[in-house]
Structure formats: structure tokens, C-alpha cells
Amino acid sequence: MKGKYEVTRFVGIPMTTDDSGTYVVSGDGKPHEWRVGKHTKGKFEHLGQLFLTENNLMVAIIAAYPVAFKERHQWTPMQRFTSESVSEELVQMLREKNDIDDGAN
């Protein structure tokens, strides 16, 4: 099929920066899901990487799952990956808090 691309679904936690510029959990810290879209910029590198949503919300990735191309419409596409990330310790704490024990690509 022309125009097909690899799709990955990401579970992420919205983040904000504190007064010192450190990324901290925003709001209630509940996980949400997004996916790579046809026009998503950048590449997924590791858990903890931050990405921007279409609404310019910064999100830390705590799990990643492959998705069949035809199933992609169940999730909102993201805008772009950034080169920034949160600590492995924070990722692990957020995964434990949200009972995520898979999706560790």
C-alpha cells in the first residue's frame, strides 16, 4: 500500500518545567496515549524521551508498542520528538505508579 509507514503507540505522562527548568509531572500524572503520524518529525530513541503533541504539550514516554497500520486511527497522532528526556529513575517510578510492566522497547 502506497504511503504506509511504521506506527508505534506511546503511553506518556504530560510534563512541565519547574523554576529550575527540570521536567516534572504536570497535573494528575495520569497516562495518555498517542501514536506516530505520517508527518511526525524526529525518531523514537528510548523511554523517557520527550515529545510534543499537536497541542504543544510536552510528554514523557513511559511505554511504546508497535501498532498495525490499519489500527492507527484509535490514537491521536503526535507532532514531533525532541532530543530532551527525563531520568530513568522518573520513568521507572511513573511505570510502577501506573502499573506498566511491558512496552519497554
> Looking at residue 30, what is its pLDDT?
93
The distance of Cα 66 from the centroid of its chain, to the nearest Å, equals 13
Residue 10 pairs in a beta bridge with 34, 64
Identity at 96, one-letter amino acid code: E
**pLDDT at residue 41 is higher than 70:** yes
Instruction: Tell me what percent of the residues of the chain surpass a pLDDT of 90.
Output: 84
How far, in Å, CA of 18 to CA of 12, rounded? 19
DSSP SS3 for 69: helix
Tell me the pTM. Answer: 0.91
DSSP SS3 for 64: strand
Identity at 6, one-letter amino acid code: E
DSSP SS3 for 70: helix
